[in-house]
Amino acid sequence: MIKVTIDKVLLDRQITSKMLAAEIGITPANLSILKTGKAKGIRFATLARICKVLDCQPGDILTYVADDATDDDQLA
Q: Would you tell me which residues interact with another protein (CB under 8 A)?
A: 26, 30-31, 33-34, 38-43, 46
Report the C-alpha gap between 37 and 31 in whole angstroms.
Answer: 10
Identity of the residue, 44 or 73, whose beta carbon is nearer to another protein in the bound complex: 44
Q: What is the CA radius of gyration of the chain?
A: 14
Identity of the residue, 26 or 73, whose beta carbon is nearer to another protein in the bound complex: 26
The minimum distance between CB 49 and another protein, in angstroms, equals 11
Q: How far is CA 2 from CA 39, 58, 76, in A?
A: 10, 12, 19
Identity of the residue, 41 or 73, whose beta carbon is nearer to another protein in the bound complex: 41
